[in-house]
Amino acid sequence: MGMEIMCFDLEGVLVPEIWINVAEQTGIEGLRLTTRDVADYDELMTYRLKLLDEHHLGIADLQRVIAGLRPLPGAREFLDWVRERFQVVILSDTFYDFAAPLMAQLGRPALLCHNLEIEDGRVTGYKIRLEAQKAAAVRAFQGLNFSVFAVGDSYNDTAMLLAADRGFLFNPPPNVVEQFPGLPVVRTYDELRAALVAASSRQIG
């Protein structure tokens, strides 16, 4: 197990898209946009923060939505299967201020993500850990002599997937598949499990 590491995106792979659920519960249609739609993460977050300010939504409103979310069906069981066979790290462009309830439901895997800037309950900005942190983390793990497998679903995952020894798009939208035709696509956890078994240098089952 020790020489192979699995890097997962979070939203759209293991848990629902947080911002889409915020949009559904607040009626703010603009918050439906995610990294599946907009390739430039800073552009997307700037737009989201503008909408939150215009509609007077604070961190408590967002956390209230997140508290009601559950992992995608089968995600916890699949993640438990992976953890018996690989080291596991979640590489996400979400925020620690959002993720804690979801991490608890997933058995608290290691999570590398970003931080929101909050003043008097208002979300005033965000602080990223590092530019292109997902791909940087993959290269760092490779520098530690790990073989890296990576799974994501959106534009902001593609650099990570291309940097990994083996990268997989999980149930991605057509626009992402079209722009990255060289990345293998899996649609279910069963398909992903089979792909990992086939790609691993070890006998796993």
Q: Which residue numbers are catalytic?
A: 9, 11
Q: How far apart are CA 162 and CA 184, in angstroms?
A: 11
Chain centroid, CA 50 distance in Å: 23
145: three-class secondary structure by DSSP: coil
- Residue found under tokens 């902001």: 156
Q: What is the DSSP string of 45-89?
A: HHHHHHHHHHTT--HHHHHHHHHT--PPTTHHHHHHHHHTTSEEE
Tell me the one-letter amino acid at 91.
L
Other C-beta atoms closer than 10 Å to the C-beta of 172 total 25
Token pair listed for 57: 């939504």
**Between helices 75-83 and 189-199, what is the axis angle to 10°?**
20
Contact yes or no for 147/163 (Cβ under 8 A): no
Residues in a beta bridge with 112: 91
Which residues, including other chains, have CB under 8 Å from residue 126's CB and lie 6 or more apart? Answer: 45, 49, 95, 114, 115, 116, 117
